[in-house]
Amino acid sequence: MKQRDELAILFVDDESDILHSLNRFLRREEYRKFFVDNAVEALELLAKTPVDLVVSDLRMPGMNGLDLIKEVKRLYPGTLRMIVSGSQDIEQIIESVNKGEIFRFIPKPVEPESFKNILNDALDYYCMKLEREELFDEISLKNGQLTDANATLEKLAGDLKRSEAQFRSMNDAAQDAVFMLDGSGLVRYRNTAAEVMFGYRRSEHPAQPVSEIFPETSTALELNDLVSCDSALLARSCANLVIQIEGLRKDGSRLPLEISRGCVHLESGPHSVLIARDISTRIEEEKSRKQYETMQKELESQIEKKLLQSQAPITLRHIEISYLMHSSGHLDGDFTELIEYDPLRADLLIGDVMGHGIQSALVSAGLKSLFLKSIAEERKSPEALPPLERIVGKIHERCIHELIDLGMFATLLFVRLDLKNRQASFVDCGHNPLIHLPAKTGRCRLVKGGNLPMGMIEKEEYRQAEFAVDENDLLVLYSDGITENRSPGDELFGIERFSALLEEHAALPTEAIVEKIEAALMEFCGCTNFEDDVTCIVIRISGSTKMPDNG
Which residue type, as a one-letter code, is found at position 419? L
For residues 313 and 459, membership in a common domain is answered with: yes
CATH of the domain at 70: 3.40.50.2300
In a domain, residue 295? The reply is: no
In a domain, residue 215? The reply is: yes
For residues 448 and 521, membership in a common domain is answered with: yes
Range of the domain at 57: 4-136
Of 269-283, 291-305, 430-444, the range with the lowest mean pLDDT is 291-305
Residue 154 has pLDDT above 60, yes or no: yes
Q: Render the burial of 39-55: b for 16+ CB within 10 Å, e for the rest.
A: beebbebbeeeebbbbb
In a domain, residue 303? The reply is: no
Confidence category of residue 522, pLDDT binned at 50, 70, 90: very high
Distance, CA of 362 to CA of 331 (rounded, Å): 10
In a domain, residue 157? The reply is: no
Q: What is the 3-state secondary structure (H, E, C) of 21-54?
A: HHHHHCCCCCCEEEEECCHHHHHHHHHHCCCCEE
Domain end position, chosen among 112, 136, 160: 136
Domain end position, chosen among 84, 119, 136: 136
The edge-to-edge listing of strands for the beta sheet with 80-85 is 32-36, 8-12, 53-57, 80-85, 104-107
For residues 253 and 353, membership in a common domain is answered with: no
For residues 500 and 441, membership in a common domain is answered with: yes
Coil, helix or strand at residue 343: coil
Helix axes 494-504, 510-525, angle to 10 degrees: 140
Of 89-98, 291-300, 525-534, the range with the lowest mean pLDDT is 291-300
In a domain, residue 186? The reply is: yes
For residues 464 and 330, membership in a common domain is answered with: yes
pLDDT at 235: 47
For residues 331 and 248, membership in a common domain is answered with: no
For residues 333 and 229, membership in a common domain is answered with: no
Q: For 187-201, what is each residue's pLDDT tens digit?
A: 888 888 888 888 888
What percent of the chain has pLDDT above 70? 81
pLDDT at 221: 42
In a domain, residue 355? The reply is: yes
Distance, CA of 183 to CA of 181 (rounded, Å): 7
For residues 316 and 465, membership in a common domain is answered with: yes
Distance, CA of 11 to CA of 20 (rounded, Å): 11
- Contact criterion met (CB below 8 Å) for 258 and 279: yes
Residues contacting residue 326 through CB under 8 Å, at least 6 positions apart? 481, 518, 521, 530, 533, 534, 535
CATH of the domain at 232: 3.30.450.20
Contacts 24+ apart (CB under 8 A), 507-512: 509/320, 509/322, 509/540, 510/320, 510/321, 510/322, 510/474, 510/538, 510/539, 510/540, 511/322
For residues 394 and 525, membership in a common domain is answered with: yes
Distance, CA of 547 to CA of 195 (rounded, Å): 87
Q: For 407-426, what is each residue's pLDDT tens digit?
A: 888 899 999 999 888 999 99
Residue 163 has pLDDT above 50, yes or no: no
Residue 168 has pLDDT above 50, yes or no: no
For residues 329 and 419, membership in a common domain is answered with: yes
For residues 267 and 362, membership in a common domain is answered with: no
For residues 368 and 498, membership in a common domain is answered with: yes
Is the peptide bond between 109 and the residue preceding it cis, with omega within 30 degrees of 0?
yes
- Contact criterion met (CB below 8 Å) for 216 and 183: no
Using CA atoms, how far residue 521 sits from 482, 512, 513, 528, in Å, is 7, 14, 12, 9
Compare 306 and 383 and report the one with higher pLDDT: 383
Question: What predicted TM-score, i.e. pTM, was given to this entire model?
Answer: 0.50
Distance, CA of 118 to CA of 21 (rounded, Å): 17
> Considering just the CA atoms, what is the radius of gyration of the chain in Å?
35
In a domain, residue 155? The reply is: no
Q: For 489-506, what is each residue's pLDDT tens digit?
A: 999 999 999 999 999 999
Using CA atoms, how far residue 84 sits from 33, 105, 115, 429, in Å, is 17, 6, 10, 20
pLDDT at 226: 52
Strands 53-57 and 80-85: parallel
Of 277, 272, 189, nearest in space to 223 by CA: 272
Q: For 41-98, what is each residue's pLDDT tens digit?
A: 999 999 999 999 999 988 888 888 888 988 999 999 889 988 888 756 677 677 766 6
Give the count of domains, the chain. Answer: 3
CATH of the domain at 362: 3.60.40.10
Domain end position, chosen among 263, 282, 301: 282
pLDDT at 435: 95
In a domain, residue 294? The reply is: no
pLDDT at 239: 47
Give the DSSP H or E segment for 389: helix 388-406
